[in-house]
Structure 1
Amino acid sequence: MGRSPGRAEEVGVESAAGEGDAVFRGEGDDAAFRGEVREWLSRHLVGAYAVCGGAGGPGSEHEGVAVRRAWERELGAGGWIGIGWDRTCGAYGNRSATLTQQVVWAEEYARARAPGRMGHIGENLLAPTLIAHGDDAQRRRFLPPIARGEELWCQGYSEPEAGSDLAGLRTVAVKDRDGYRISGQKIWTSLAGEADWCFVLARTDTREKRHRGLSFLLVPMDQPGRIEVRPIRQMSGTAEFNEVFFDGALARTGHVVGGEGNGWRVAMALLARERGVSTLVQQIGFAAELSAVVADAVASGAVRDPVLRDQLVRQWAELRVMRWNALRTLGTAGDAGAPSVAKLLWGGWHQRLGELAMRVRGAAAAVGPAAWSAEAPYALDALQRSFLFTRADTIYGGSDEIQRNIIAERVLGLPRGER
């Protein structure tokens, strides 16, 4: 490692997205399934879908929205949405797959640089929650259009005064003859501008406090005058997140999941599903970002700096640890600390990668690409946008402080801190 390297591989940071990184790559049904996945993606990932490849990740949700929505329907027609659902649920239009095959699908999807998913909230969060806690009518109504890629969902949890303290939410749902009338505000709502439905945690019994008296409601977004979506402009120039205002919005009586007053139990079950096989997709994307940073370091000669070189190798090593941790916890249902450990690992890692990407470039990191103009001041390249977006990685989805509290209290059994 004493000489000046000319290739990224010689830095000791080979791409973690390479063929050799496959988890299940050579035996029986998994190998056949991998071949089927590759063949389907190669036939369908063409034209506008190929052009939109890789678009729609964190910090770039604004890219190719119409094409990515059409891609959801393409995936649905192929039966590729919902392969991780309960294997008894194939009647809803999805094919079933083993856990290892779900990992294979995640790997091949990421390596093919397919468009960023728009239906993941419905597929990976709401659908498993309906399977576990919904009734037959709710499953029949909502699972098929999710599996077909026809209906998109957003999540109505956080509020201005109740982000990490979700039990302190103030949104109220009052029952009338038509159902529940919802009034209040949600914030940091991903995909609210494109979503057809929102699952909302609201207080249906105002006599109760904290986690009691809450209900989990399914709310159609197409209610002009009753639901308003306002994009939140970020320092990256994009607007992935939104404020959502409810002014008497209607949720039908039959669209309460788990029964009135049981919203906290349903909401916590949903959050427990928030990280799983999808973390492997995320990590393959991280590996591609790391490879781009390494390539920048080699091209600019920054890799000759021993401190930067050490940081690059450290990022690679930590990414491998994250991968092994994700594989270790895939089958550990009920592990209260696993999601929090995963979030702590990737949030800090990705934030440090953004900082390292700018450090590798030096002064050039502050200069916009050739497409920059006064009319388009946010014409940033992918790594610049990632650096700005990653400032939030240790906050959204549960801040690092909250994750540490969860691990301390629920896993280590330490006493609760003062609230």
Structure 2
Amino acid sequence: MSQRRLHLNAFLMNVGHHEAAWRLPESDPFAATRLEHYVQLAQAAERGTFDSVFLADSPAVRADVGQRPAVGLEPTLLLTALATATSRVGLIATASTTYDQPYNLARRFSALDHLSGGRAGWNIVTNATVEAARNFNLDELPTHGERYRRATEFVEVTRKLWDSWEDDAQVGDKSGVWAEAARVHPIGHRGEFFSVDGPLNSPRSPQGAPLLVQAGSSEDGKDLAARYAEAVFTAQQTLNEGKAFYADLKQRATEHRRDPAEIKILPGIVPVLGSTESAARRKESELTDRIVHGYALERLASTLGIELGEQDLDRPLPDDLPGEDRIETAKSRYTLVVDLARRENLTVREIIHRLGGGRGHRTFTGTPEQVADTIEHWFTAGAADGFNVMPAVLPAGLDDFVDHVVPILRARGLFREEYEGRTLREHYGLCRPVNRFAADAGSASRS
């Protein structure tokens, strides 16, 4: 039996995940619209044999543009450009099931998979912001339950569309047969939210279907992941929380008659690296000192569903917070923040500083050996199949991780020395899915 190996994804965000990264003297505040910036990052991840790179997305301006960068380039378009600058690393993009249509999304990701040679992945989100809702003819955010019902149907329709061409339906016989029409299928979907005839207007892609990723940790989010996801990006602050989430999701997958090994769970980690622990702490302090409290207060208040002002900075959170059941936005992030604040008795200012690095993902400041130690510990303790690496500062933080942490993980036998496959599914150790129409035809012929 081959040794279990880590999976690493590089989460690329602007000039770094720390709220204040753009204010460092060495940072380029305009990098987020420059292709060469992302090419440099993707090539660094590929040099480190990362499984994938990932671009988040929200179809709205969510930041105060007066206080921090607020650029959100359309990710599948950007990843298509990155596909030409790389050859192995996987390419994952967020797309919302609330503000898109299955046919359009299926086409985009199928195109990315074809053009990249089988390296596309879709991060499924419902998008939990009222700002986005008001860009799509809605006055308010749809309820949490409605968003997840729509997401479930959306994924089903998209998967049917990706299967609507059987493998090798294209023939290219110049005697006059370009494709076998009997192997190209309408899907005839009629449901609560969507009516889609199909088929897709592009053949089945190299992976059979792009990798499905999910990033919500609410009860509905975990159920969606257990049904469909092949990789899960999540946020846990402690090892015990990580182990509980890991065990819960693997059990849910079993209940959906899936092999739990088919779901790779990757908690987020925000590494701040230094040659010594004190050097790493100085880097962390340089970032913390540059946090703009006005914007951070606004985002924290939005997450918690309360009003907060400058007068609250040195107070703990109020006792009468709304419960998670009253939150219609990001339920799991609300609970993470409240639990962190109560567990460590933090003031609002201290919460802002703790969230500044990764919005609730675990920040780890230390030497490369210490970061490698915590990664190995979570991996071997049953809390992770790998990590969603979220450098506080880009590109420097990703280069440091590739140059100093990856060699340690390789020396310990935890991470690949080189790529062994070409597709994203192969990187994650996953099989190419069987086409449902071909499977149905095979079942019928045997009955």
TM bracket (short chain)? under 0.3
Q: Please, what TM-score do these two structures have when normalized by structure 1?
A: 0.24
Structure number with higher helix proportion: 1
